[in-house]
């Protein structure tokens, strides 16, 4: 088994465990995902604003 394969199986095992845990908190995960994307957008906008200010 190659390194990539072993990491993939380890990832799927943890992901499956996370899925079971997140079944009850599915809506909150969706909200947090959108919040993180907006935070990233704001951060990049601020960086772009700094560049234009100079």
pLDDT of residue 39: 57
Instruction: Give the C-alpha separation, 19 to 24, whole Å.
Output: 9
Q: Is the predicted pLDDT of residue 3 greater than 60, yes or no? A: yes
Single pTM value for the model: 0.20
Q: For a pLDDT cut of 70, what percent of the chain falls above it?
A: 0
Q: Work out whether the CA dihedral 19, 17, 22, 7 comes out positive or negative.
A: negative
Query: Tens digit of pLDDT for each residue in 6-23?
Result: 666 666 656 566 566 655
Specify the higher pLDDT residue, 24 or 54. 24
**Do residues 22 and 29 lie in contact, with contact meaning Cβ atoms separated by under 8 Å?**
yes
């Amino acid at each position: 088994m190659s390194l990539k394969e072993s990491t993939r199986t380890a990832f799927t095992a943890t992901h499956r465990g996370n899925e079971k845990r997140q079944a009850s908190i599915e809506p909150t995960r969706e909200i947090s995902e959108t919040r993180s994307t907006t935070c990233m957008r704001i951060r990049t906008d601020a960086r772009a604003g700094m560049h234009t200010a100079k």
